[in-house]
Each structure stands twice: as structure tokens, then as C-alpha cells.
């Protein structure tokens, strides 16, 4: 956790907690003073100019001038910050975001159910939507049609025009170059090197940012969840695949080409089980939902020639394991051992303060059993070091789409709010 000195930097007499990462001084250095001030207001909810000046160690005059510009541009406003009785003197004046200044959409594409949310600049949820789909691989046109349905539903619910949306963030499984919007490979898509970002942005006429779905879930933790006050943490997702996101110094790490941290496709067994990426021996091939279902087909006596509901198979597996079926328990135990290996490797490589385990499969507590964590600790080098905390995140599936809004908000902060470039 952060030390008291840094935690107190964002405290003021104003109660709103805000959203977005709580930046350490070293993370602020890459930003202009205008952006630092805006980020400070966003993270605090409400904050006085004097508190901003002390926190950022800049002159009150500079804060006054730049906040005046942000107010004139319609992104900040003054509010009465008095939260308790004062014996004398003028009540303090706080600054906060203007929620209605901008609206963004976040979308998460998945194998069975797409989700989407609409939020304003204040981070308030205005609408959400979901769309059932199928496991067939999609073309860009298929996904574009699905997104059009989701966005229409959001706008109808919120009673707004689609033209009022300033940016869209998208999360999708696979290898994604966030800078270019090109999806090099995804289990959801037909073909490779698909320019999904340009397909979407050309249609909607607004910036569309695309990232790996594990990254957008990590952004949800960094912007709205357990990672806001942490400078270094890892998120591991386990469901249709196995993903990982890593935050270092309050920044999401993507690698040199935006395609790093593909934990699910690290190799744990040479010439091992077949992964849906087409290679063998990937971690995902032993831990993801389809891998557990494949193992279960023999144990449960399922015919490989007949289609089966994946969720029903997993539910049946868990029920059998819960009543002591040793054959089924062995499946979960083996998956748990592979998870322990993966987590110990993460600890050796990144030494995170916290590892958050998330995704649908974490509801099956065998993957977070005490023996799994004990094996993880046995495999990790704990001599003369602090122990990495493990937490389970139980948010619903809308959180992925909420994380995708952080992509859109990051883009708007850089272009519209800081640089003053408006959508064409």
C-alpha cells in the first residue's frame, strides 16, 4: 500500500472520492501542468485550488490561471465545498468535473455475450446494454453490426443522440495493438491483422480505442477499483481464456509493440494440450473454461460428437467436485497447480504489491483453494521479501465494458481536454 505521506496528498475537506488513478509524483512528470491539475480534480472528486497547489508543489497563481482556462472550456466548475459548520470566514470553494461536458461508451466483445456502458465525464453510469451472441468467429462487419445495436440501445435508454458520444473504448480477447487499433489475432475474429479500430472509427466518426480485454479489466481496477491507490499490481483473468494486465508506476504496461503480457500463451508443457491459438502447451489450454470442459468430457461421459453447453458442463463439474468426486476434483486440482505456477512466475518477474484474480471461473473456489496459494508460495522465492497479496474480484461482467471507458476517457483527456482538439 502507499505510504501515509502520499495518501494524504489527495485528501482535502471535500468528501467526494472521484475516480481515475491516484498518481504518484513520478507518474505525474510525463504530463503537462494543465493535465496534472485536471487529473488531480478527477481523482479527488472535489478539491480546493490551494490543495492542488500544495499537492503538485506549484504556485497558487499557476493553479488559478490553468483552472480558469479549464472552467472556461467547460470541463471544470466551482462548487460550494463547505461540508461542515465553520465558525467564521468564507466557505471554501471546490473544483469538480462538469459531468455533462463529454460522454463515452465502453464495449466488451465476448464469445457469448457482448456488454456496453455509457458514462459521462464524471464517471457516472448513464446506461448499460448486453447482446447475446454465438461462438462462431466474426468478421469486422459482424462486430460492427453488434456495436451499432449496443450503442443504439445505450442512446435510447439515456435519451441522447449518438452524435453526442465523444469517444468509444473496446475490449476484445487476443493480441491487440492499442496504438493502431489492429487486432493481430483474436479467438473471436476471422483472419489476422484486422484493422478493427479504423473500421469502427470510420463508421461512427469518433475516436475508437481498442485493447486486449485483460488490459481493459486492469484499467477498471486502476480507474474505479482496488488499484486506484496502488502503483504496482497485476490482474489475472480466467474464463474463456487466460489474460493478464500489469500496472507499473500507475501506468498500464503493454510492451514495446503493445502486445505484451500474454500470460495465457506462455508455455507450461512442451508438445502439450492444444490451445485455441493453434499452438500446444499454453497455460490457457490447461486453465481456461474450454480446457476444463475438455477434461470433463471423459469424466462426465459426454459424447464428443454432440454439442454441449459450456456453462452447464462447468456447473456440473463444480457440483460433482463439491460432493467429493475425486476424478473431478483432480481436474480442478491440476488447473490449480498450473495457476500456482503462473502466479509464482508473475511474482518472480514483476514483484507486484497485489495480484487480483478475476473472471467467471473464479466463482469456482477450487481455483483459489488454500492448497493453490500454498503451492504458489512454495514455488516463489520468499526469503527476505514481502509477500504478494492475492485478492478475488467478484464484479459482474459489465466491469469489462466499464474498463473500456477508461480507454476513451484517456484519449479525450489527452486530445480534447489538454490539447483542445475537438471531434470532427
pTM of the model: 0.88
Q: In terms of DSSP H, where are the helices of 159-271?
A: 196-204, 213-224
The domain made up of 101-218+398-418 has a fold known as: Nucleotidyltransferase; domain 5 (3.30.420)
The domain made up of 229-392 has a fold known as: Nucleotidyltransferase; domain 5 (3.30.420)
- Note down pLDDT in tens along the chain; length 424 residues: 333 333 333 333 333 579 999 888 877 888 999 999 999 999 999 999 999 999 999 999 999 999 999 999 999 999 986 444 444 555 679 999 999 999 999 999 998 899 999 999 999 999 999 999 987 899 999 999 999 999 999 999 999 999 999 999 999 999 999 999 999 999 999 999 999 999 999 999 999 999 999 999 999 999 999 899 898 999 999 988 899 999 998 889 988 877 788 899 999 999 999 998 889 999 999 999 888 888 877 777 766 555 567 777 888 888 888 888 888 888 888 899 999 999 999 999 999 999 999 887 777 777 777 888 888 988 887 654 678 889 988 667 899 999 999 999 999 999 999 887 654 4
DSSP string, 51-73: HHHHHHT--HHHHHHHHHHHHHT
Pick the CATH number of 4-97 from 3.40.50.920, 3.40.710.10, 3.20.20.210, 1.10.10.10: 1.10.10.10
Q: How far is CA 292 from CA 28, 177, 244, 273, 367, in A?
A: 44, 29, 19, 12, 12
Domain boundaries, the chain: 4-97, 101-218+398-418, 229-392
Q: Look up residue 189 and give its DSSP letter.
A: B
Q: Cα(77)–Cα(97) distance, rounded to whole angstroms? A: 6
Two domains, one topology: 101-218+398-418 and 229-392: yes
Amino acid at each position: 500500500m502507499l505510504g501515509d505521506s502520499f495518501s494524504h496528498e489527495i485528501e482535502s475537506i471535500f468528501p467526494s472520492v472521484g475516480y481515475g488513478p491516484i498518481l504518484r509524483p513520478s507518474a505525474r512528470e510525463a504530463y503537462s501542468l494543465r493535465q496534472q491539475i485536471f487529473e488531480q480534480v478527477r481523482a479527488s472528486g472535489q478539491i480546493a485550488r490551494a490543495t492542488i497547489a500544495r499537492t503538485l508543489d506549484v504556485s497558487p497563481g499557476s493553479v488559478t490561471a490553468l483552472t480558469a482556462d479549464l472552467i472556461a472550456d467547460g470541463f471544470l466548475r466551482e462548487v460550494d465545498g463547505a461540508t461542515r459548520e465553520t465558525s467564521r470566514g468564507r466557505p471554501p470553494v471546490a473544483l469538480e468535473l462538469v459531468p455533462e461536458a463529454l460522454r463515452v461508451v465502453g464495449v466488451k466483445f465476448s464469445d457469448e455475450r457482448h456488454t456496453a456502458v455509457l458514462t459521462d465525464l464524471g464517471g457516472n453510469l448513464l446506461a448499460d446494454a448486453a447482446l447475446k451472441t454465438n461462438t462462431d468467429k466474426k468478421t469486422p462487419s459482424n462486430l460492427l453490426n453488434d456495436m451499432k445495436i449496443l450503442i443504439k440501445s445505450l442512446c435510447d435508454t439515456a435519451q441522447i443522440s449518438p452524435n453526442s458520444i465523444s469517444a468509444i473504448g473496446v475490449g476484445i480477447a487476443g493480441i491487440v495493438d492499442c496504438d493502431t487499433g489492429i487486432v493481430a489475432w483474436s479467438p473471436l475474429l476471422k483472419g489476422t491483422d484486422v484493422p478493427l479500430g479504423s473500421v469502427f472509427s470510420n463508421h461512427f466518426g469518433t475516436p475508437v480505442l481498442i485493447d486486449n480485454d485483460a488490459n481493459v479489466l486492469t484499467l477498471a481496477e486502476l480507474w474505479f477499483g482496488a488499484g486506484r491507490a496502488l502503483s504496482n499490481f497485476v490482474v489475472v483473468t480466467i474464463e474463456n481464456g487466460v489474460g493478464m494486465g500489469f500496472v507499473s508506476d500507475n501506468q498500464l504496461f503493454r510492451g514495446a509493440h503493445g502486445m505484451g503480457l500474454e500470460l495465457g500463451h506462455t508455455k507450461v508443457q512442451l508438445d502439450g494440450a492444444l490451445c485455441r491459438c493453434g499452438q500446444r502447451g499454453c497455460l490457457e489450454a490447461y486453465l481456461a473454461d474450454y480446457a476444463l470442459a475438455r477434461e470433463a468430457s471423459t469424466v462426465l461421459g459426454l459424447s464428443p460428437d454432440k454439442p454441449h453447453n459450456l456453462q452447464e458442463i462447468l456447473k456440473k463439474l463444480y457440483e460433482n467436485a463439491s460432493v467429493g468426486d475425486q476424478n473431478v476434483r483432480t481436474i480442478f486440482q491440476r488447473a490449480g497447480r498450473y495457476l500456482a505456477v503462473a502466479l509464482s512466475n508473475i511474482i518472480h518477474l514483476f514483484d507486484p504489491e497485489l495480484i487480483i484474480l478475476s473472471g467467471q471461473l473464479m466463482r469456482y473456489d477450487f481455483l483459489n483453494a488454500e492448497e493453490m496459494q500454498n503451492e504458489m508460495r512454495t514455488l516463489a522465492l520468499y526469503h527476505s521479501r514481502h509477500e504478494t497479496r492475492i485478492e478475488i474480484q467478484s464484479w459482474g461482467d459489465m466491469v469489462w465494458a466499464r474498463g473500456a471507458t477508461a480507454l476513451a476517457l484517456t484519449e479525450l483527456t489527452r486530445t480534447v481536454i489538454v490539447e483542445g482538439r475537438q471531434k470532427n
